[in-house]
């Protein structure tokens, strides 16, 4: 008789083997893959920065206004359970552009498409740029130049934009330009600026404008255009009319549970917490952080809409696969945490929408990872999948929204996270761990890792994680 434990293990081992082998299966460059739409000849990749999935209207937030991202979701496939591999900008962007869980591979997505006949261009932030440092300087950051035929930066004044400045953890409100928190300064993460203007001076507006120009210039040839927006990444800067949409008095701060941090190991604590950064002294400013974040999201959404409008006006919607995502999520007082860099759900879960001509629209809760974007684009455009990639094409899910290709997904931040449908397991050094039942405790308030009655579950998940880590080394 097969023990119950191993009966549980067999299905996901099969899935892991299938995923591991997928990188070895390639399609000839000129041959259409069975069932793939022959209409797709272009790819538009849109990447937001520090965007948590749950604030978008299409992901269930009824307060934040994101009509343009929502309409993209209405004409494509929305992935409810998409996860990043890196939990800060640099590692995440390197990961999905190379389709490697950690570190660089042999070729980037844009380079691969460029080598197979595509015009490849970057506008704004795709590989890591320091925000605000590289944005103010207009510099390339950690860009990989061989990825592109052309690349364009979108500079801006950021926190130095004249207007109503706030540093919310210090409770500072001023219109003075002197003394503002900016590049490499310790409180820059809590800065917002609203100002009188139409937004055309802002980096994201410039990114949309240049992307529109490139769509017009290269409409007659296969293109891969990657538009990287920097909002809602701090400083949260937007014209006043976007801030006027969100009264801070109406904002809801995530539930604060007494003793919530007591069962989280030190390695699992966010580096920025309310009690450390000082914003715990100003409960109203926590609401203002939410209002500013919403304002930045809606401003970014408007720029996405400008690009989508142009795509439609040029008649390119029927031949262009559009992918919208973010490098990682973001904490806004969840567990009193702020920012990113840890393995909790609000950080590792990301928005992902793929609108692919010829594919059915809808939603899916299948587990997927950002490393899967590279092979997905290859299959959609009928290009060979390089052997160095570690992701798995999402085309089977695009065709059948009930399809499952992964039993769990990986993320990394001072440890490893193994997220399955029912469980979130985080493993650190010194036998420290977190374990949450995501069916009964989606907010991750009760760490079950050290409870004797969950020892078997923890052992099972630890074994699955170990096998997966070995498979990607």
Q: Please state, in angstroms and rounded to a whole number, the distance separating the CA atoms of residues 198 and 361.
A: 34
Average per-residue pLDDT for the chain: 93
Which string of DSSP letters, residue by residue, matches 5-25? Answer: HHHHHHHHHHHHHHHHHHTT-
CA distance 60 to 39: 31
Give the domains, in start order, of the chain with CATH numbers: 4-153+203-233+304-472 (3.40.720.10)
Q: Is residue 468 within 8 Å of residue 410, measured between CB atoms?
A: yes
Can you give the pTM of this predicted structure?
0.92
**Residue showing tokens 């934040």:** 64
- For residue 13, the model assigns a pLDDT of 39
pLDDT of 150-198, one tens digit each? 999 999 999 999 999 999 999 999 999 999 999 999 999 999 999 999 9
Report pLDDT digits (tens) over 441-467: 999 999 999 999 999 999 999 999 999
3-state helix/strand/coil string of 87-146: CCHHHHHHHHHHCCCCCCCCCCHHHHHHHCCCEEEEEECCCCCCCCHHHHHCCCCCCCHH
Among 32-46, 184-198, 313-327, name the one with the lowest average pLDDT.
32-46
Terminal-to-terminal C-alpha distance of the chain: 33
Cα–Cα distance, 124 to 229 (Å, whole number): 6
Can you tell me the mean pLDDT for 260-283? 96
Measure the CA dihedral 168/49/354/421, to 10°.
Answer: -70
Rounded to whole angstroms, the maximal C-alpha distance in the chain is 75
């Amino acid at each position: 008789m097969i023990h119950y434990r191993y009966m549980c293990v067999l299905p996901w081992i099969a899935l892991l083997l299938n995923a591991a082998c997928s990188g070895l299966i390639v399609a000839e460059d000129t041959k259409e893959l069975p069932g793939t739409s022959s209409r797709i000849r272009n790819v538009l990749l849109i990447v937001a920065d520090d965007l948590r999935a749950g604030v978008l209207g299409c992901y269930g937030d009824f307060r934040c206004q994101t009509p343009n991202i929502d309409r993209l979701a209405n004409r494509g496939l929305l992935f409810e359970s998409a996860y990043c591999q890196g939990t800060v900008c640099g590692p995440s962007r390197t990961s999905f552009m190379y389709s490697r869980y950690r570190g660089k591979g042999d070729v980037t997505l844009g380079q691969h498409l460029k080598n197979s006949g595509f015009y490849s261009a970057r506008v704004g932030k795709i590989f890591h740029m320091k925000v605000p440092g590289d944005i103010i300087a207009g510099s390339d950051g950690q860009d990989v130049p061989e990825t592109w035929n052309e690349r364009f930066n979108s500079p801006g004044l950021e926190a130095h934009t004249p207007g109503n400045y706030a540093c919310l953890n210090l409770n500072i409100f001023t219109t003075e330009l002197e003394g503002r928190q900016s590049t490499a300064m310790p409180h820059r993460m809590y800065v917002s600026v609203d100002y009188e203007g139409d937004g055309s001076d802002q980096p994201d507006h410039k990114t949309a404008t240049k992307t529109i120009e490139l769509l017009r210039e290269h409409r007659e040839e296969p293109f891969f255009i990657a538009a990287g927006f920097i909002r809602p990444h701090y400083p949260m800067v937007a014209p006043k009319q976007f801030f006027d949409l969100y009264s801070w008095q109406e904002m809801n701060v995530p539930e604060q549970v007494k003793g919530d941090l007591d069962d989280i190991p030190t390695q699992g604590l966010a580096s920025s917490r309310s009690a450390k950064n000082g914003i715990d002294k100003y409960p109203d400013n926590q609401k203002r952080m939410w209002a500013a974040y919403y304002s930045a999201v809606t401003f970014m959404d408007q720029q996405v809409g400008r690009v989508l409008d142009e795509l439609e006006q040029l008649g390119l919607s029927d031949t262009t696969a559009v992918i919208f995502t973010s490098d990682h999520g973001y904490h806004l007082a969840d567990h009193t945490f702020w920012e990113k860099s840890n393995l909790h759900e609000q950080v590792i879960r990301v928005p992902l929408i793929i609108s692919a001509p010829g594919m059915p629209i809808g939603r899916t809760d299948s587990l997927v990872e950002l490393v899967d974007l590279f092979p997905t684009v290859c299959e959609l455009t009928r290009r060979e999948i390089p052997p160095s990639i570690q992701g798995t094409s999402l085309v089977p899910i695009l065709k059948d929204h009930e399809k499952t290709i992964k039993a769990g997904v990986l993320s990394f931040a001072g440890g490893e996270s193994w997220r399955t449908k029912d469980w979130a397991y985080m493993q650190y050094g010194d036998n420290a761990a977190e374990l949450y039942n995501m069916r009964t405790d989606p907010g991750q308030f009760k760490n079950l890792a050290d409870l004797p009655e969950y020892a078997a579950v923890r052992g099972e998940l630890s074994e699955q994680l170990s096998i997966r880590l070995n498979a990607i080394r």
